[in-house]
Amino acid sequence: MNLMLRISDLLQRGIIFSDIQAVEGQHLRIRTPSGWVTVEEGDPVSFDEMVPLLHSVTHYWKSHLDQGQSINRTIEIKPARFRLSAYTMHARSRKALTLRLIPDRPPELEALHLPVQVQQFTRPQRGILLVSGATGAGKSSTIAAIVNRLYREYPLHIITIEDPIEFLYPDDHAAGVVTQREVGPHGDVASFAAGVHEAMRQCPDVIVIGEIRDQDTAAAAVRAAESGHYVIASIHARSSLGAVQKLGSLYQESFVEATLASILTGVIYQLIMPDAQGENNVVAAEVITGGASELVGILKDASRVPMIADRIRSNNLGLSLEAHLRYLHNQGRISEETLREVVSVYYAA
């Protein structure tokens, strides 16, 4: 069976999953709220099954993969859209695909059940908001929900720089406008940094950066925030403090502490876990809303990390992850076991 038809069949069966893993010679695997599950029905995925899907993404798929380059695009497999990553493995002898399900429309903040403290980031402002967490933690969904609220309620020009473009923003009854630009050789801009530089000349009110992953992007993001724009950026980190430390390490300029203290609007750190029934995912978040000067102080003096971490855990700089986890537990949304396990792992790091 064609791989696209297999995936379409999974969607129509109403199975709850967020990701699909297709590896040549192996059965399909899907990521459910309780973890990865093998789809036993059907034969292992063959290379011939992958070809129509790859060809629908780009006619140059073979040359990309033969050169060891991954392909990162969005793709529509009715009735859904996916973020696709195609790559090789075992010394290019086998092909593999990972697909992340993208909802039809940007999510509403209320649907994500994020802490109420996140609401303050849905108003026009200046500075930089870091949205952090591991891969698959729901950072894109949180950013999309914030952008969705901003452009629907305020007459703003929002420029997003994405790799690839994920959520689409319908312009029906919106007060603002969203310009979405894709990074890549067949996209709109060569890099995240180039996208930010170009955005500065395109009359933006808000600049959304899909990921700060290198020094050039970090510097461009900081300059945009210093210029009075509202910058919302994703950054991979293991904690709220880790997000600040990573931005500081990438932005290797003099007076980094003073610069970041003047522009840091807030930090959201989040992770995903199964709900109490193991049927759906739940987002838990730590939201730092104040104390920017204290946070960035750790860049100059690493010995202050434990003290600042204690202040965050005590909810002195916003809402701690532990506080939100306990709220979710009291609401019956996560189990006692999940609460203990996440708290133990997060605060041991």
Which CATH number goes with the domain that contains 203? 3.40.50.300
Q: Could you give the number of structural domains in the chain? A: 2
φ, ψ for residue 65, nearest 5 deg = -70, -35
Distance of CA 155 to the CA centre of its chain: 25
Does the bond joining 79 to the residue before it have cis omega, within 30 degrees of 0?
Answer: yes
Mark which of 44, 69, 102 sits at the end of a domain.
102
Binned at pLDDT 50, 70 and 90, residue 66 comes out as confident
pLDDT tens-place string over residues 255-277: 788 889 899 999 999 999 999 98
User: Quick one: average pLDDT of 287-301?
Assistant: 84
Look at residue 284 in the predicted model and tell me its pLDDT. 96
pTM equals 0.88
Look at residue 349 in the predicted model and tell me its pLDDT. 67
Same domain, 16 and 134: no
- The mean of the pLDDT values for the chain is 92
- Residue 120: closest CA among 233, 311, 266, 296: 266
Beta-bridge partners for 97: 22, 86
- Residue 269: closest CA among 129, 116, 155, 145: 129
One-character DSSP codes across 97-152: EEEEEE-SSPPPHHHHT--GGGGGGGS---EEEEEEESTTSSHHHHHHHHHHHHHH
Look at residue 296 in the predicted model and tell me its pLDDT. 85
Mark which of 102, 124, 150 sits at the end of a domain.
102
Binned at pLDDT 50, 70 and 90, residue 219 comes out as very high
Same domain, 44 and 160: no
Look at residue 15 in the predicted model and tell me its pLDDT. 83
Same domain, 172 and 217: yes
Per the model's pLDDT, the better-predicted residue between 222 and 63 turns out to be 222
Same domain, 159 and 300: yes
Same domain, 65 and 118: no
User: Quick one: average pLDDT of 296-323?
Assistant: 89
Look at residue 151 in the predicted model and tell me its pLDDT. 95
* AA identity, residue 126: R
For the four alpha carbons of 88, 91, 94 and 96, in that order, the dihedral sign comes to: negative
Same domain, 247 and 340: yes
Binned at pLDDT 50, 70 and 90, residue 1 comes out as low
Same domain, 199 and 89: no
Q: What percent of the chain has pLDDT over 70?
A: 99
pLDDT tens-place string over residues 148-196: 999 999 999 999 999 989 999 987 789 999 999 999 877 899 999 999 9
Same domain, 74 and 149: no
Distance, in Å, from the CA atom of 200 to the CA atom of 209, rounded to the nearest integer, reads 13
pLDDT tens-place string over residues 278-290: 888 899 999 999 8
Distant-in-sequence, close-in-space partners of 344: CB < 8 Å, separation ≥ 6:
none
Which residues constitute the domain of residue 249? 109-348
Mark which of 102, 117, 139 sits at the end of a domain.
102
pLDDT tens-place string over residues 31-61: 988 889 999 888 999 999 999 999 988 888 9
